Amino acid sequence: MAATIVAGVGASLVLSAAPASATGIPHVQGGQTVPVYSYENAVRESVWVQTRLDNDRDGVPDKVAVDITRPREAADRRIKVPVILEASPYYSCCGRGNESELKQYDANGVITKQPLFYDNFFVPRGYAFVAADLAGTNRSTGCMDVGGREEVLSAKAVVDWLNGRATATYADGTPAVATRWTNGRTGMIGKSWDGSVANGVAATGVEGLETIVPISAISSWYDYQRYNGVLRAEDYPEYLHQVVNGRPAGVCAATVEQLDSGSDDVTGNYNAYWAERDFRPDARKVHASVFIAHGINDTNVTTTQFAQWWQRLDVPKKIWLAQQGHVDPFDIRRAEWVDTLHRWFDRWLQGLRNGIDREPAATIETAPGTWVDERTWPASAAKTTKVALGDGDGMTGTLGGGSTAGSRTWTDAPDLSEAAAVASPGTAVPGRVSFLSAPLTRPVRISGTPTVTLRVQVDKPTTELTARLVDYGTATRVNYLGRGEGITTLATESCWGASTTADDACYRDTAEAVVTSDHAVVTRGWQDAAHHVSLRFVTPLQPGRWYSVTVPMQATDQRIAAGHVLGLILQASDNEYSTPQSTGATIRLDLRGSSLSLPLAGKLPVPGATAPVVTTSSPAPARVAPPRFQPLLP
């Protein structure tokens, strides 16, 4: 009989007898991995993996600090285990998870506490957990280049080491050989920046990386720091470098200069700097399976990041979409997430045929607490629907209907807030124009990426253009704009795995935060008009000339209830979700040459001659802080 650890929700560390596995592998029983190894007695060690890079220019190859927790009993029996790897810049500066956990070490510099539950839960089940400090952070050398070559290749080097293709040493300089205890099968996981690294490493096609689980992750750093030529925040790469930098003052000055010049705030162009940080063109190189999780209302790492990546991937894949913002599914739907993640890793790292790859690929939260499984995403029933912009009463236009040479004119109002722009769409508000559908006779679903094409005259060489889709109608919705981005942290705890005195597996419980409001923004989009030809260069507009400019909005999946009204709100620069470069332009919009494209399941009703009367008595929830100042933090 082998010893097993019984540990889970609210459980303590208990040793009990477990029957021998039919496979001969103690941690595989009944077609799944089970907790048979001691977490308290696990091997905990730190190694430094050598890379082929030297971007701190000290003449010595940069080294990645790697902290490992692995089952001792498996190693003693010469059972090689797969690896769950999280490569992060946050282990010493900012922490991981809802409780901002940091790595902790003993007096000898050996890891005693790994953030999050992955080691507590999976090590007893026959996995190793490996936490790597990205180049230039915590105990690693090199310099953090914010999504660039050094960052991605520093994490890739760890995968190479786990597969015997790179060298590493312990702190005393003696060799550390991973292939003595691992079979090299590696899965990368992480939220936000960590998940972005997983995307980047997968895009190298590195052998041994079998699966990735990117949570609220970036697939194009240009799209994270630019909205189609619109600047999100000034000096943002340099700021992010400063937040996570673990090197002495001045060591990384050359890298910071490269971040400043390469990112090119002045033009907003997509250039070689951004191409290096764009993983989407290399989606064809990905051979790892991919399990994406993202908040459909994430205004930090916006939804185009998962949508464009998902569409390009040609591998086994799965997706979870929640109504929250930048939130880990562990803090939304904890039990279901842990169970699904366990089955996913068992399938792709342990090789257990548990059927998860044959289940519906998409799990979507349609309303607070309501989840559905679907075959794929976007919804197969959603068809691209072109919606004309109608005249309406000459002030408030209609979605659908015709226009008799109608137009709208407005002047950029850079101080116009989102709340003011979307409120009471039937009234005159300087700096915005509005278009409304008729009240819906049946519910519809928007599933995918809406766009709006605007035929405009502009009296300046450029202007920023902002579009918002708004659901006008009272409903209880997830409060993703609140302080918790859709969750409330409770006083109670639940435990997910085994614990030690230094590293417990218990985390504060959470609940969905909801709000009842009579309208809410469904999705947003931004475009610099002078980038209407290409994001690679500026094409100044000539005053008096007509141009067609398409404003892509963020991908979404929302249901609009019967009786509600769908609204399109247009303005110029946006002072909340970007750093506006206002030119003070006046914009004339030709309605006949403009249209809204919706990925729509269902039909919008035929509009009347004028838009319905819509008033808002309660303000839409507002952000607790302007999103453009929101760093890419946990």
Give the Cα separation of 317 and 279 in Å (integer): 17
Q: Which residues pair with 294 in a beta bridge?
A: 321
Q: Is the Cβ–Cβ distance between 100 and 192 less than 8 Å?
A: no
Question: With 0-12 CB in 10 A as exposed, 13-18 as middle and 19+ as buried, what is 15?
Answer: exposed
DSSP conformation letters of 120-185: HHHGGGT-EEEEEEPTTSTT--S---SSSHHHHHHHHHHHHHHTTSS-EE-TTS-B--GGGTEEEE
Which of 27, 241, 326, 532 is an active site residue?
A: 326
Residue with tokens 């912009």: 389
Please state whether beta strands 209-215 and 289-295 pair in parallel, antiparallel, or not at all (unpaired): parallel
Helices 149-162, 193-202: crossing angle, 10 deg rounding: 70
Check the CA dihedral 197-202-203-205 and report its sign: positive
Burial class from Cβ neighbours inside 10 Å (0-12, 13-18, 19+) for residue 96 reads buried
Q: State the Cα–Cα distance between residues 22 and 219, nearest whole angstrom.
A: 42
Can you read off the two tokens belonging to residue 602? 């269902």
SS3 assignment, position 120 = helix
Q: Which of 192, 220, 403, 434 is catalytic?
A: 192
Distance (Å, rounded) from C-alpha 555 to C-alpha 216? 13
- Catalytic entry in 265, 298, 328, 528: 298
- Residue 617 catalytic? no
> Is residue 448 within 8 Å of residue 293, measured between CB atoms?
no
User: Rounded distance, CA 507 to CA 118, Å?
Assistant: 12
**326 noted as active-site residue:** yes
Surface-to-core class of residue 509, CB atoms within 10 Å of its CB (0-12 exposed, 13-18 middle, 19+ buried): middle
Closest CA to 630 of 224, 245, 256, 329: 224
User: ∠ CA(253), CA(255), CA(259), 5° rounding?
Assistant: 115
Judging by DSSP bridges, how do beta strands 317-322 and 362-367 pair with one another? parallel
Question: Closest Cα to residue 216, out of 243, 196, 241?
Answer: 196
DSSP-derived 3-state class of residue 451: strand
* 192 noted as active-site residue: yes
Question: Cis omega before residue 461 (within 30°)?
Answer: no
The residues that are catalytic are 192, 298, 326
